[in-house]
Amino acid sequence: MNFKILAFLLLFSFIAASHEISIEDKNVEEIVKQRMSNMSKIKAYSTKMYPLTMSGEFEEIKKLNDKLLHAAQEFKLLFTEGTQGGKASSLIWEDREKFDLFNDNFIISIENIGKSINNEDSVSLVENFNIMASNCGTCHKKFRN
C-alpha cells in the first residue's frame, strides 16, 4: 500500500515537472513568435508609409508611424534571458549594449519622423524616413541570422 502511494506520488511529481517544462517551452516559443510578428508588422507599416512620405497626407502617415513606434518599442523588450531562438543571433545575448543601442537608434529615428509629421515638413520627413529605413539593414547584418 505504501509502495503504491509512493509510486503515485513519484508519477504525479513527474507529470507536474514535465508540465512545468512544457509551459516554459511554450513561453519562450510565444515570445519568439511575438517578436517575429512585431518585425512583420514593422515591415508592413514601413512599406505602407514609403509611398505616402511625399503625399502630404500627414494624418495618414501619423497613424502608421505611431503603430511603427509601438511595434519597435515592444520589440526591444522581447529578448529576455533564455529566449534565444528564431532568426535572432546569439550575439544579442552576448553584446546587449550594442543591440540596445541599435534598437534605441531605430526608435529615435521613428520619433524623428513624428517630429517631421508634427511640423508638416515633407522634406525632412523623407530624410527621416530614409534614416529610419537604413536601421533595418544595420541591425540585421549584425543581429539576425
Angle ∠(26,86,131) on CA atoms, nearest 5: 125
Instruction: Give the residue carrying C-alpha cell 528564431.
Output: 86
Q: Does 98 bind ligand HEC (CB under 6 A)?
A: no
Amino acid identity, residue 43? K
**Residue 28, interface with ligand HEC (CB under 6 A)?**
no
Nearest approach, Cβ of 46 to ligand HEC (angstroms)?
A: 4
| List 103, 125, 128, 129, residue binding ligand HEC (CB under 6 A) | 103
Alpha-carbon separation of residue 107 from 20, 55, 84, 117, 132 (angstroms): 36, 23, 22, 15, 8
Residue 133 binds ligand HEC, judged by CB under 6 A:
yes
| Position 113 contacts ligand HEC (CB under 6 A) | no
Interface with ligand HEC in residues 36-95 (CB under 6 A): 36, 39-40, 42-43, 46, 86-88
Number of residues that bind ligand HEC (CB under 6 A): 21
Using alpha carbons, select from 48, 141, 71 the residue that is nearest to residue 102: 141
Please check whether residue 93 is in contact with residue 81, taking contact to mean a CB–CB distance below 8 angstroms.
yes
Least distance in angstroms from the C-beta of 72 to ligand HEC? 7
Distance between CA atoms of residues 92 and 99, nearest Å: 6
Q: Give the residues lining the site for ligand HEC (CB under 6 A).
A: 32, 35-36, 39-40, 42-43, 46, 86-88, 102-103, 106, 133, 135-136, 139-140, 143-144
